[in-house]
Chains A and B, each alone.
Chain A
Amino acid sequence: MLTTLLLFIPILGGFLLTLIPGTNSTRWQALLLSLVAAALSVYMASSFVPTGGVQFEAQSEWLPMLGIGYHVGADGISMVMLLLTNLLSPLIFLSTVKHDIANRGLFYGLMLIMQGAMTGVFVAQDLFLYYIFWELALIPAYFLVLLWGSGQHRKTAMKFFIYTLVGSLLMLVAIIFLSQQWSPASFDISNVYKVSLSPEAETFVLLSFMLAYAIKIPVFPFHTWQPDTYTQAPTAGTMLLSGIMLKMGLYSMIRWVLPVAPNALQEHGPWMIWLMVIGIAYASVIAIQQKDLKRLFAYSSIAHVGLIAAGILTASTEGLTGSMLQMFAHGVNAIGLFYICAILMERTQTNEIAQLGGIRNIAPWFATTYFVVLLGSVALPLTNGFPGEFMLLSSLFKQNWVWSLVAGSGVILGAVYMFKSYQGVMLGETKVSAFPDLDIWDKAVLVPIVIAIVLMGLFPDLITRIAQPSIEQLLQSL
């Protein structure tokens, strides 16, 4: 019941908001709805008993003729993702409240629908239901880029949509194939996990699932839609995309790929990990050359999620635990970084590093928060990026030390471009004429992020405690 509520409060609320023309109070209504969802998810997490099983389950018939059921629930892995989604969403809403946005009703409605759909992806225990939420999250994202984007956003929105949809369609074929292994067809997670496939069929399922996820995450070489989309989407859209939506792909790898195609993964995993670690180094090298701060963060995001994906594919406890930590950390950091971009854009009308400089001298609050988010992002010990990244690298090292070497070089390069950009924007002589320091709304967004970065760096156990039993159970069942 709680899961169903968590799912449909944002979706139905969002749907209603899209219908009514926006007024000044729309933003507060949206914020309130997302806060309700956040409170609900915190309550669920606090009453969650960290064992391996699925909790808060709800199950009923939906389309019996096609073998489709409504089945939702959360195990430890889902729980962490629920927390991530529903705690970050209010921050994203909060980041928009001081701006005057055209067509408010539609804007906030779409964001809420997206929040609900992403929650749905994380709680679905039925493969078909999962697919529906997976696609439902895509539609608002498309409209957010199309209607509130900047630059060449029309083209970008189409590219983004077609790119991700083609991946999803192939996944759909694999999903239908999996469901037809049962007679009558069944999409329920328990049956999907029990399917035994021939090696060729398993390879097919693995490849079609992985293609969809590789595009969504995105992993090199399927990343070409990402920098444009992140740069041209409205800030709140970028935050949703990078902070939460890409985790749908990473989470799905854990939830569906590992248990359904373990043997094929053992065969094909190594070259996939190779692609991913090469992608980490590649994205880092490109990030160094970026002149635009938002684009730089977009490429750095490719590097970070590549490491998470590689860690998941090692199918080890360490890799999966690290990926949970790093997914959470990346979500928090990405939102922080893109909000910083938005602040710079708002006050100087540019994100070009060369045109900025010396802001630290006139905006100490901004300088400090930016620096903390940056430290989290480069994975300094005692910040949230460190434990996850450490575990991911270590899991790679245990299987092939060359992987960790290539991936580690990406981490080092990450420090290079992050500090270089900080130097360019914040230090040196002051090039911007005036730069008001953080106002109360900025602080409301950034201070919680800073607290989260430090807190998670000191107590990574907060996350791992919830996820660990489920991860172990999942790996045992392979």
Chain B
Amino acid sequence: MYPIIILSLAGILSMFIGAYKLKKLALPAVLVATLAAFVSNFLPQNLHDAPVYSGMLKFDSFAVNFSAVLMGITLVILILSRRYYRDNHEHLGDIYALFLFSVVGGMIMVGSYNLVMFFVGLEILSIPLYILATSERNNLLSNEAGLKYFLMGSFITVFLLLGMVLIYGMSGSFDFGAISAYLSSTPETPVLVKLGVMLIMIAFIFKISAAPFHFWAPDVYQGSPAVIMVFMSTVAKTAAFGGFLRFLTQAIAPIGDSFTPLLAVLSALTITIGNLMALNQNNLKRLLAFSSIANAGYVMLALVGLGVNSSSTVLYYMLVYSIANVITIAVYLTVKESLGSGSIDGLKGLYQSKPLLTFCLVLAMLSLAGIPPLAGFIGKYAVFVEALHNGYAWLVVLAALNSAIGIFYYFRVMRTAFQNAEEGPVTVPYVLGYSTVLVICTLVLLVLGIFPNVVLNGW
């Protein structure tokens, strides 16, 4: 829980930076804090196998590993944001504070051992995102995105609360361990508990933008500032998956199996909708939104075949997916700055002017499309195997066919980058931070593809 403490403090301090007009300091300070939190996460004292704080949090290896990924990706996104917010002199400190609070919420979620804490984590994660989505104040789309996200999100919260109340009412406790003990001691699960789990699942499905609650994602992703969008589709999603996985394995493990058919159907639906809708998108952010829906569906395969390796599989998949997404958005940002458009055609001529950038984009796209030997392939393979263990062969075949559909739109992005631009090559200003982030991300992607055991070792 050290990272939670460090980042909460850093967030509060960051708000003061705004008040004292020390904007130049904001980003370095936030980066240092995140880095410190990242390092402290790996301290042996940080790891407790028993619940702490009156059984509210349990910082076991599951929580530590998920937190590490959450903070790692946030670190990268923060570096990317430097450029993005360079003109926004007014609320810089607040924006960074919101970023940090959101990550703290995510870490509370993946570390929670109590339904109340789970709820608190989810809200701390979400509320900053509602604000951040509208942070481009003069952009109508950004305002719309924030409002949409907020309305839908708070509506879904009601479901979550109702589900928690139902479970509490039957089991008499919010504690994961107590709920689990109650469930294994009751021979027949009460309908109300099942209903409660279902309602919580609805909130989860909304958060990861899986079908049938995915409709908000394309609009919100397209409207939000790119940096926020990538934060939502990577960090927030990873946290949601981690939190739900935790709930599934620790609180309702005894009856977890009865929900797999439902998850399987939803996963099939999500993968198919995401891939088919992505085929015809011309806006890169919108395409990424549908791709993110499809990928949520793939990760759900691991939940369908819940086994000992599921946690590391989910984490590996989300990490790889997040890195590829961050790379794509970083490329998009550089191109957008010079072209002022979010259309895929804006990538034309990229190879002529920026071969290195194109190289990173190509690897990211190949990884997203799941082409061996890139990390995305190993991730897909691992989730397929998880689902197969539980006997869902039809689902795996469907998912495999869908990944063939994915080739079409991921390759379209890639191909466009190699097309010659009609009006000469686009000029992309050279930015040190971006290139460094890109190269590091690409290297990590390659290393994860060749040595997946780093993450994928079934802790």
A residues within 8 Å of B by Cβ?
A: 18-19, 21, 62-66, 103, 106, 131-132, 135-136, 139, 146-147, 154, 158, 161-162, 165-166, 169, 172-173, 176, 180, 185
Contacts and interface: CB of A to CB of B under 8 A. Distances in A.
A165 B372 contact: no
A136 B411 CA distance: 16
Interface string B352-396: 000110010000001000011100011001101100100000001
Chain B, interface size category, equals: 20 to 34
B417 to A, nearest CB: 11
Interface stretch (B16-24, B116-124, B228-236, B450-458): B450-458
The 9 A-B residue pairs whose C-beta atoms are closest, nearest first, are: A135-B372, A132-B372, A132-B373, A65-B458, A169-B400, A136-B373, A166-B404, A169-B404, A147-B418
Contacts of A63: 378, 452-453, 456
Contacts of B403: 169
A136 B418 contact: no
B309 interface: yes
A147 B382 CA distance: 33
Nearest to B453: A63
A323 B372 CA distance: 29
Contact of B407 (A64, A136, A162, A176): A162
Contact of A172 (B359, B366, B400): B400
A57 B359 CA distance: 34
A150 to B, nearest CB: 15
B388 A176 contact: yes
B448 to A, nearest CB: 12
A65 B457 contact: yes
Contacts of B89: none
Contacts of B384: 176
Contacts of B452: 63
Interface string B234-246: 0000000000000
A203 to B, nearest CB: 16
B400 A185 contact: no
A181 B448 CA distance: 27
29 contacts: A62-B453, A65-B312, A65-B453, A65-B456, A65-B458, A66-B382, A66-B456, A103-B351, A103-B355, A106-B355, A132-B372, A132-B377, A135-B372, A135-B373, A139-B366, A146-B415, A146-B418, A154-B415, A162-B404, A162-B408, A165-B404, A165-B407, A169-B404, A172-B400, A173-B396, A173-B400, A176-B385, A176-B396, A185-B385
A462 B404 CA distance: 43
B397 interface: yes
Given A132-B377, A165-B404, 6 more contacts: A21-B355, A65-B457, A103-B351, A147-B418, A162-B404, A176-B396
Interface in B267-316: 309, 312
Contacts of A169: 400-401, 403-404
A169 B384 CA distance: 13
B309 A65 contact: yes
A14 to B, nearest CB: 13
B404 A66 contact: no
B415 A161 contact: no
Nearest to B369: A165
A161 B411 contact: yes
Interface string B409-429: 001000100100000000000
A173 B355 contact: no
Contacts of B366: 139
A161 B407 CA distance: 9
Interface string B439-459: 000000000000011001110
B355 A66 contact: no
Interface of chain A, helix or strand or loop or mixed? helix
Nearest to B405: A162
B404 A158 contact: no
A52 to B, nearest CB: 30
A73 B382 CA distance: 26
Interface in B163-184: none
Contact of B359 (A19, A65, A166, A173): A19
A16 to B, nearest CB: 12
Nearest to B373: A132
Contacts of B453: 62-65
Nearest to A162: B407
A131 B382 CA distance: 15
B164 to A, nearest CB: 35
Contact of A180 (B388, B404, B418): B388
B147 to A, nearest CB: 40
Nearest to B380: A172
Nearest to A11: B373
Interface string B25-67: 0000000000000000000000000000000000000000000
A21 B359 CA distance: 12
A459 B147 CA distance: 79
A173 B372 contact: no
A146 B411 CA distance: 11
Contacts of A180: 388
Nearest to B439: A19
Nearest to B458: A65
A63 B377 CA distance: 14
Residue among A66, A147, A172, A176 facing the most chain B CB atoms (10 A cut-off): A66
Contact of B371 (A18, A64, A139, A173): A139
Contacts of B385: 66, 176, 185
B410 to A, nearest CB: 11
Nearest to A21: B355
A384 to B, nearest CB: 34
Residue among B381, B400, B453 facing the most chain A CB atoms (10 A cut-off): B381
Interface in B338-354: 351
A19 B309 CA distance: 36
B93 to A, nearest CB: 39
Contacts of B407: 161-162, 165
Nearest to B397: A173
B139 to A, nearest CB: 35
Residue among B373, B377, B397, B407 facing the most chain A CB atoms (10 A cut-off): B373
A176 B381 CA distance: 9
Contacts of A62: 453
Nearest to A106: B355
A166 B397 CA distance: 12
A294 B452 CA distance: 44
A131 B372 contact: yes
Contacts of A185: 385
A176 B378 CA distance: 13
B240 to A, nearest CB: 25
A162 B373 CA distance: 17
A171 to B, nearest CB: 11
Contacts of B382: 66
Residue among A21, A62, A65 facing the most chain B CB atoms (10 A cut-off): A65
A147 B309 CA distance: 41
Contact of A66 (B359, B373, B381): B381
A380 B336 CA distance: 62
B355 A158 contact: no
B359 A18 contact: yes
A168 to B, nearest CB: 9
A200 to B, nearest CB: 14
A421 B140 CA distance: 67
A106 B359 CA distance: 10
A63 to B, nearest CB: 6
Contacts of A172: 400
Given A63-B453, A146-B415, A136 B372 contact: yes
A166 to B, nearest CB: 6
Nearest to A172: B400
Nearest to B313: A65
